[in-house]
Amino acid sequence: MKPLLQVKGIEKRYGARIGCTEVSFDLYPGEVMGIVGESGSGKSTLLNCLAGHLEPDAGQVVFDTRADGPMDTVTMSEPARRMLGRTDWAFVHQHARDGLRMSVSAGGNIGERLMAVGDRHYGDIRDKAIDWLGRVEIEATRVDDRPTAFSGGMQQRLQIARNLVTGPRLVFMDEPTGGLDVSVQARLLDLLRGLVREMGLSAIIVTHDLAVVRLLADRLMVMKSGHVVEVGLTDQVLDDPQHAYTQLLVSSVLQV
Amino acid sequence: MIELKDVSKSFTLHNQGSAVIPVTEGASFRVAPGECVALTGASGAGKSTLMRVIYGNYLAASGQVLVGGLDVTQAEPREVLALRRETLGYVSQFLRVVPRVPTLEVVAEPLLALGRDRQVALDKAAPLLARLNIPERLWALSPTTFSGGEQQRVNIARGFAHDYPAMLLDEPTASLDVQNRETVLSLIEEAKARGAAIVGIFHDVAARERVCDREINVSEFTPGVAA
């Protein structure tokens, strides 16, 4: 099997400070990788470099495109990268507001991404939008409501629907359950797991919640001060952490 | 099917004065298909540790752990995951599930993960739950609110949903009543009959003597205690 994404030596500096450095890994189709670390450890910087939102100072992000095979997305043209962002890639922001158009209806939010890839038939777009609202457990009657009228958890689910409607192969998620109360988190996790399995998605999830990665991620990468300090199978890293920082992280979780 | 060659394991606690705790040294044994081997030894001797080393959630310090030809200590995460999906089952003492997922699906999940048809998976899961005396009215509910014993039985049903060629059982009969214990023991016997290689921890001596072909005392591998 060919890797879907190959990350080679990614580095991002903010002046003299290190954002993240020497990050390399391969992600295979259907794999979910978690990136954990305390705030300021460089995990969001890394995610933004991978997703093309930030330009890394060094390194390659090679994605196996459908048409042309493996291509370095760091050096590809801006339009090509944007096209990827609308089709094979999806980005779920921590704050749903960053990933939604708040003044456009829920159906419009989902439809916009379909139109961006060439869908033109209004009836079809609306049907697909309603289908996706159902999959993320939002009632069809809310299709014409604006996201401003939705709760935080619904906004987050709408954002996920908007992202997944075009059938992406790689989803970047930045703290997808952050800021949601635990019952909504549980629902979202269940939903994400189901979607990942049914659609065969690969995903990279940045979070500081170890319970979230245990449920969602196959593999784990632990970051501290911009460096990757430990990688491995999720349950191995959490059950038998090798690095001092990971041990601290795992032992710091409060038991409920 | 399962083979350990000179496996050692120690824990280094970096945040507690870098204390090094050696747990196992020079563990070597093999388990053939259709064979059930019990790990014995006092509490703290390293039975569960050794089992987790085989499953791959503990990292061996040295040595080889071969399961179905794959060296778990050297394999890539995705290879270990594929091994766990297809070949190596593990019934732990605790059920860990996503909240909200109905019991029937929890049990069917190993089959769904293998890409089996949804109905086929559910049809396999239902009789297992019935055999383990989980009332049908509970199947549509999430097991998170079940009693400890019920959760354990759900966990066992889940562990036996797929016919794994190799299985690890961590106290499968602990805290079960007579009838359910009997069911679990027959599940183990059926697994052996179809050729599964099983490594188990049984504190229940009668159960151990009934299903296990031989015993391995892990104290033999505990550094500094022998002699």
ipTM: 0.85
pLDDT at site B226: 45
Q: What are the residues whose beta carbons fall under 8 Å from the beta carbon of B198, sequence distance 6 or more?
A: B31, B35, B36, B37, B166, B167, B168, B169, B188, B191, B192, B211
pLDDT tens digit string along B63-106?
A: 999 999 999 999 999 899 999 999 999 998 888 877 778 999 99
> How many residue pairs bridge chain A and chain B with CB atoms within 8 Å of each other?
53
CA torsion angle A142 A146 A152 A157 (round to 10): 60
Coil vs helix vs strand at B70: strand
Q: How far is B57 from chain A (nearest CA, A)?
A: 4
Between helix A106-116 and helix A152-164 the angle, nearest 10°, is 20
Tell me what the pLDDT averaged over chain B comes to. 91
pLDDT at site A136: 87
Sheet with A5-14, side-by-side order of all strands: A17-27, A5-14, A58-65, A69-72
Preferred mutation among B15, B24, B57, B117 to probe A, highest tally of A CBs within 10 A: B57
Taking residues B19-39, what's their average pLDDT? 92
Q: How far is A90 from chain B (nearest CA, A)?
A: 23
Rg, chain A, Cα only: 18
**Quick check: B157 and B59 in contact, CB under 8 A?**
no
Is A187 in Cβ contact with B14 (below 8 Å)? no
Q: What are the residues whose beta carbons fall under 8 Å from the beta carbon of A91, sequence distance 6 or more?
A: A51, A53, A85, A99, A163, A171, A172, A173, A174
pLDDT at site A255: 66
β partners of residue B200: B38, B169
CA B60, distance to chain mean position in Å, is: 17
Is B101 in Cβ contact with A233 (below 8 Å)? no
pLDDT at site A17: 92
Residues in chain A with pLDDT values less than 70 = 255-256
pLDDT tens digit string along B182-227?
A: 999 999 999 999 999 999 999 889 999 999 999 999 988 888 754 4
Residues in chain A within 8 Å Cβ distance of B82: none
Which pTM was predicted?
A: 0.88
Taking residues B149-166, what's their average pLDDT? 94
pLDDT at site B15: 84
Cα–Cα nearest to B91, from B10, B24, B40, B162: B162
pLDDT at site A256: 58
β partners of residue B217: B40
pLDDT at site A189: 79
Coil vs helix vs strand at B187: helix
Pairing of strands B197-201, B36-40: parallel
Confidence of residue B127 (pLDDT cuts 50, 70, 90): very high
Q: Does B101 touch chain A (CB under 8 A)?
A: yes
Coil vs helix vs strand at B8: strand
Contact residues, chain A to chain B, C-beta under 8 Å: 28, 31, 186-187, 189-190, 193, 197, 214-215, 218-219, 232-233, 235-236, 239-240, 242-244, 247-248, 251
Preferred mutation among A183, A218, A235 to probe B, highest tally of B CBs within 10 A: A235
Which residue in A has a C-alpha nearest to residue B106's C-alpha?
A: A190
Cα–Cα nearest to A110, from A40, A149, A160: A160
CA–CA distance, A90 with A169 (Å, rounded to integer): 8
**What phi and psi values does residue A47 have, to the nearest 5 degrees?**
-60, -40
Coil vs helix vs strand at B224: coil
CA–CA distance, A209 with A201 (Å, rounded to integer): 21
Is A233 in Cβ contact with B52 (below 8 Å)? no
Which residue in B has a C-alpha nearest to residue A1's C-alpha?
A: B78
Q: Write out the H or E segment, with its range, that includes residue A92.
A: strand A89-92
